[in-house]
Amino acid sequence: MTSTVKPLGHTVADESVGMSYLNQAPRRLVTIYLPLLVFVFVLLFPFYWMTITALKPNHELTNFSDFNPLWPDSPTLQHIRYLLFETSYPSWLLNTMLVSIGSTIISLVASILAAYAIERVRFAGSRWTGLAIFLAYLVPPSILFIPLAVLIFKFGIYDTKLALIFTYPTFLIPFCTWLLMGYFRSIPYELEECALVDGASRWQILTRIMLPLSIPGLISAGIFAFTLSWNEFIYALTFIQSSENKTVPVGVLTELVRGDVYEWGALMAGALLGSLPVVLLYSFFVDYYVSSMTGAVKE
């Protein structure tokens, strides 16, 4: 048996290329720019379509043979004017804002306490409790609204904003708790142990250590809770009857569709204006949202 020994001065060529293949223009076009272009198109085209539909006069909405379907020939603001001044859309928008903010605050407070108790107090059965909370999030709302309707009638809050503020946390708290559990788990336990040694109480640890370090996670959970509340439809349709108390998703559908007549211009204007608050919310807190997805505190 013979073995080949390379001289000490021999240099082995490094054949690894890493990410250098992306430096070539054709590959960069196929692997980066084309997928990014498709993603941006799919993401932004619905907003573009809502905008041009809201700006088209009625005679251009369905006449694609004489008018360009992708651009309004005679832009008009009549649909937006009708939506804002001849319907209850401003009150729907205000109702949606109040309900979303109220239910988000309640859900975050309850979720913070639940997630901290499950992940940091370490009581018996905490893992199973966390699993049960996550499974509760998977229960369809179409099953829950029947028993919730009985409670709402008994409390006398049917057809009020309180009916939505108190029912939305039933699906927001499990989700926010599950999200914050993962974030609290990423914070080093040494910080909490040092605080306990120094004589800090659990409440002081939560308010002075955990919450300041968990701001990205709290913002992420708040954004998700606000978005789910803003777009919720089943509970708002079931528990609200009067037009002045409706939210945007229900009001736009029930008040702007009369039988088989669809007011497409006003519908698209309502959908576009109703999506702007959520878009602005994500744009302002995108840095915190990304940081919550990438981790919390380094060891």
Q: pLDDT tens, 25-53?
A: 677 777 788 888 888 888 889 889 999 98
Instruction: List, for residues 158-167, the tens digit of each pLDDT value.
Output: 999 999 999 9
Of the three residues 12, 44, 76, the one that is the final residue of a domain is: 76
Residues 212 and 237 in one domain: yes
What pTM was computed for the model? 0.80
Domain extent at residue 245: 88-294
Give per-residue pLDDT as tens, 166-222. Answer: 999 988 998 899 889 888 888 888 888 888 888 888 888 888 888 888 888 898 899
Q: How big is the CA angle at 84 (ends 81 and 85), to the nearest 5 degrees?
A: 80
Q: Same structural domain for residues 116 and 222?
A: yes
Provide the domain count of the chain. Answer: 2
Quickly list H helices, 86-233.
89-116, 126-137, 141-155, 161-167, 169-185, 189-197, 202-205, 211-213, 215-231
Whether pLDDT at 111 is above 90: yes
| Same-domain pairing of 219 and 279 | yes
Q: Same domain for 107 and 247?
A: yes
Q: What is the pLDDT of residues 220-278, one digit of tens each?
A: 899 889 999 999 998 999 899 888 899 999 998 888 887 777 888 888 999 889 888 88
